[in-house]
């Protein structure tokens, strides 16, 4: 085996130096890939939407008569809830909105406000935009059911008007909503 001195003054031995350089490069590549992989992990969370605290809403119409039982039932469930960071309508929400569209079809003087809300997580601006997207998702679905756009107004309140105070999943789930007024 031949001993030699490299440019840094380290003594290396024949064939072993090439092996050491290759293994250092391989180790460096492995560590780089490991570091990148650990930084880009996917975080999966499981969120549930609770049915607690469903609030009734009031819809004003041009007529001053009594509301029918079916109309009252529709209005009592006229809050649409969403999952975390989402504006996708659930199957339960679709049923509520179908009932609302039927009610609006029977009462042509009714106009509604779709008030979008978000929980406290996220920036104020992001939550205002998310509340708007939620309200627009409800309005878009109602339009597909034949409700005239002129009867729908969308407004976002973001995180500004929570119905449940608290920094826990139960409170957040109640605040991710569109109220139909």
- Tens of pLDDT, residues 74-113: 565 589 999 999 999 999 999 989 999 999 999 988 899 9
110-148 pLDDT, tens digit each: 899 999 999 999 999 999 999 999 999 999 999 999 999
Q: Where are the domains of the chain?
A: 3-39, 69-180
Residue 67: the pLDDT is 57
The CATH classification of domain 69-180, taken from the options 1.10.287.370, 3.30.1330.60, 3.30.420.10, 3.30.70.1400: 3.30.1330.60
Cα dihedral 120→121→124→127 (10° resolution): -90
Compute how many other C-beta atoms are within 10 angstroms of the C-beta atom of residue 94: 13
């Amino acid at each position: 085996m031949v001993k030699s001195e490299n440019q840094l003054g380290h003594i290396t031995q024949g064939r072993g130096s090439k092996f050491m350089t290759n293994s250092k490069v391989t180790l460096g590549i492995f560590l780089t890939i490991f570091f990148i992989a650990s930084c880009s992990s996917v975080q999966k969370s499981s969120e549930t939407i609770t049915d607690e605290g469903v609030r009734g809403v009031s819809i004003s119409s041009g007529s001053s008569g009594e509301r029918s039982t079916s109309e009252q039932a529709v209005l009592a469930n006229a809050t649409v809830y969403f999952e975390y960071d989402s504006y996708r309508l659930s199957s339960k929400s679709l049923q509520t909105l179908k009932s609302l569209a039927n009610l609006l079809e029977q009462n042509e003087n009714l106009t509604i406000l779709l008030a979008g809300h978000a929980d406290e997580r996220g920036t104020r601006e992001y939550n205002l935009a998310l509340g708007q997207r939620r309200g627009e998702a409800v309005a878009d679905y109602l339009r597909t059911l034949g409700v005239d756009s002129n009867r729908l107004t969308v407004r976002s309140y973001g995180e500004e008007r929570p119905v449940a105070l608290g920094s826990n999943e139960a409170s957040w789930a109640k605040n991710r909503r569109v109220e139909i007024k």
